Structure 1
């Protein structure tokens, strides 16, 4: 069965000459402008009965515009049923509390068993198509071994609205992202900001490195941190830190905290030079750290404006059991 939808409009007499893609962005607001441009180039749009392939074509008063939207293509990869901790869900988006160890998106070495596979299985029928494909819209990611809150779009409108908020990182909008981290040592300043550009390491492609501001490969990155608790309170070897992102780069918190001499506990990539610190831990603390099996980082708070209703949504995720046990052990 062909599920192609057909929409038609006739521009009123007050319409000034304007680009076709801009006009359609107003008329078909549930589709992103990039998706509309793709549909125009595919010949799915006519003006006065004639196909128009140029998104920049000017249209004006009296023009009759027809838009055909083919049904979304089946998702790739395929869905895989998994247990998900769903914090919130509606027709536009879903918020997941991701456990540590779960990869978000299929990639080399992780072609299956990812959050994307699970989401396609869970809500594939309600996905109206991101860019013409029935797939969840990933607007931000968490590392495999980072736990916590993750928002995912179900359609173009939500994808565009969330992507804009995450690109802005709360500088001018309402986005709120707070992380809890356990780091080695105690930063000298209780509150501080790390501002250092990041780029893929040229020596190890799996690592991110600090680069100079003038390096054309570098991406501007800012992390704000606050020391919540030295651990233990007397003669501390570690501390509980809250981090707030002003940008969202790959491994940003992990790299920035290591850069100021306080890498995350359990971070084998950026904290390998601190392995001897573990010798200062008690046996119980060492066992609790080993049970974390990755960096001690949790996305604890996520707040954003709903892309359709404008309502501000804020979610909190409790620290997961393995990190809670490590935190308790370090307090002892």
Structure 2
């Protein structure tokens, strides 16, 4: 049943073979029997994060029933120290009190430690800035973190200093009662120029690094968009407002209607983009170094005072340079 069991448990690929007696078993239950060193809950997380393949296809459903003829590959990441360290990293603090802190995050900064990024994250900076006064609800790896922005998305993010603030903010995120608006630059001009994009978002069955609109499973997602300015037929500046908050939601939804974000390395396939532009202009647009996405508006009820707070972030320099360039092409 277990074709190969590397000597070290973490940081390895494990290849297992399902046989006829396992036909009909749940994937997570079978893996738990094969790998008793790992808890079933941990295996479920690995499956849902796309780290399990059956016959070379990623599987994200822990309840998947086996045929009894599959070859399974389980990718277990390297274990890392649990506690992030405080680092003296400059932060653009928009607002701060005893309960929470609002940061204008630059593009390129990861929010919390994870595989491949165990230092220089927003969490490391917050631990230094706040002197340890961060909510513990997020766990040792994510103290104070109520929500995230992708590494290369810039803009506003709120973190909790107390457990009570964390709980209050988390309830607002769960109820989708906050105000969250983004500006994005996409390829082409969406039609109609104002509308809604719906579609359940889940892990892509073909690429574990990507999210996708899925027919089965996933979580409901709704994005409202409005074209603020069109740059010919080449691109558009779009305001997107989140009615839900799913991983990569704007990036996935805009791609689904044929208008991926400029600079998006994961969803913004560059083939055929910028047709009709001079080669130099097309090259500059296709090599914009990050997804053109900025969280410019964030509003919520203060979890302690119940005051309505609304913050707006200026568009960053690289984003402004991009739109200024598009004005001239």
TM-score, normalising length: structure 2: 0.71
> 1:240 matched to which residue of 2?
237
1:199 is aligned, of 193, 198, 202, to 202
Q: Could you tell me how far apart the structure 2 residues matched to 1:88 and 1:291 are?
A: 34
Q: CA RMSD in A?
A: 2.0
Alignment of 1:36-55 (within 5 A): none
Residues 157 and 137 of structure 1: CA distance in aligned 2, closer, same or farther (over 3 Å): same
Distance 1:93 1:134 in 2: 18
Indicate if the aligned counterparts of 2:189 and 2:233 stay in contact, CA closer than 8 A.
yes
- C-alpha distance in 1, partners of 2:224/2:327? 24
State the TM-score, normalized to the length of structure 1. 0.70
Say whether 1:220 aligns with 2:226.
Answer: no
Q: 1:101 to 1:317 in 2, by over 3 A?
A: same
Shift of 1:125: 3.6
Aligned partner of 2:322 in structure 1 is 326
1:14 aligns to what? none
2-side partners of 1:94 and 1:159: how far apart? 11
Report the count of equivalent residues: 247
Q: 2:311 is matched with which residue? A: 315
Of the three residues 291, 310, 313, the one matched with 1:295 is 291
* Residues 151-162 of structure 1 mapped to structure 2, 5 A cutoff: 151-162=158-169
- Go from structure 1 to structure 2 and tell me whether the alpha carbon gap of 1:148 and 1:247 turns closer, same or farther (over 3 Å shift): same
User: Do the aligned residues in 2 keep the contact of 1:292 with 1:323 (CA within 8 Å)?
Assistant: no
In structure 2, do the counterparts of structure 1 residues 281 and 315 end up closer, same or farther at CA, with 3 Å as the change threshold? farther
- Alignment correspondent of 1:167: 174
| CA-CA distance at 1:169 after TM superposition | 1.4
- DSSP 3-state at the match of 2:131: helix
Q: Is the 8 A contact 2:112 2:141 kept in 1?
A: no
Rounded to whole Å, the distance in 2 between the matches of 1:255 and 1:77 is 30
| Of 126, 137, 140, the match for 1:119 | 126
Q: 1:82 & 1:280 partners in 2: Cα distance? A: 43
Most deviating of 126-135 and 236-245: 126-135
Bigger Rg, which one: 1
Mark the CA change 1:88 to 1:287 in structure 2 (over 3 Å): closer, same or farther. farther
Q: Is the 8 A contact 2:134 2:144 kept in 1?
A: no
C-alpha change, 1:128 and 1:247, in structure 2 (3 Å) is: closer
Residues 1:167 and 1:281: Cα distance change in structure 2 (over 3 Å): farther
Which sections of structure 1, spanning at least 5 residues, go unmatched? Answer: 1-74
Contact kept in structure 2, 1:191 and 1:227, CA below 8 Å: yes
* 1:1-332 correspondence to structure 2 within 5 Å: 76-127=83-134, 129-130=136-137, 136-170=143-177, 175-212=178-215, 215=216, 217-231=217-231, 235-272=232-269, 274-282=270-278, 285-286=281-282, 289=285, 292-332=288-328
Where does structure 2 lack aligned partners over 5 or more consecutive residues? 1-81
Kindly tell me: are residues 264 and 153 of structure 1, through their superposed partners in 2, closer, same or farther at Cα, counting changes over 3 Å?
same
Change (3 A) 1:132 1:114: closer
